[in-house]
Amino acid sequence: MNNLRLFKIDIDYIKYLYNFDNRIQYNPNREDSYTSKRPYLGVVLKTNNFNYFVPLEHPRVSHIKMKNNIFIFKIHNGKYGILGFNNMIPVRQEHLVNFDINKEDKKYKQILISQYRFCNKHIQEIERKAKETYIRSQNNSFMKKICCNFKLLEEKCMEYKKI
């Protein structure tokens, strides 16, 4: 089994998808410089014959109080953030931007290392949660509200051409 790797996503691709589904984790009121300083960072795995990018969220106090469920996976009980399966997006290789933890600010580097190690220790559970979130989002009304529209985003992923 291969280790999961951390990736960033091309900001133009994120903006493109946001046009079709505003549940995409993107804040159009922020400048792109903000987004590049706080990268859209996550892991990539195969779901429904697509590569899916599952975003990591930076730790917040609210993460500690959240409960693990099918669409959220707390990293070390939320101390190091969460994986948000409801916000995963389909990606092609050209949308991925390599990420080097060693180039990160010392303040964030330890958090990222902890997130990375956790993800690789729990690969099977991460894959299971991604698949289950995907399946449930297709026919469960609550899941449809909180999850990105995966089928629509798969279509848009295939149509996307960087200008």
Phi-psi region of 35 (alpha: psi -120 to 50; beta: other; left: phi over 0): alpha
**b/e for 27-62, b at 16 or more Cβ within 10 A?**
eeeeeeeebeeebbbbbbbebeebbbbbbbbebeee
User: Which tens digits make up the pLDDT trace of 101-129?
Assistant: 888 778 788 888 999 999 999 999 999 99
Report the distance separating Cα 103 and Cα 109, nearest Å. Answer: 8
Asked if 7 and 43 count as a contact pair (C-beta separation under 8 A), the reply is yes
pLDDT for 36: 57
User: Which tens digits make up the pLDDT trace of 84-104?
Assistant: 999 999 999 999 988 888 887
pLDDT at 18 over 60: yes
Selected residue with higher pLDDT from 63 and 151: 151
pLDDT at 37 over 80: no
> Mind listing the domains of the chain with CATH numbers?
6-159 (3.10.129.130)
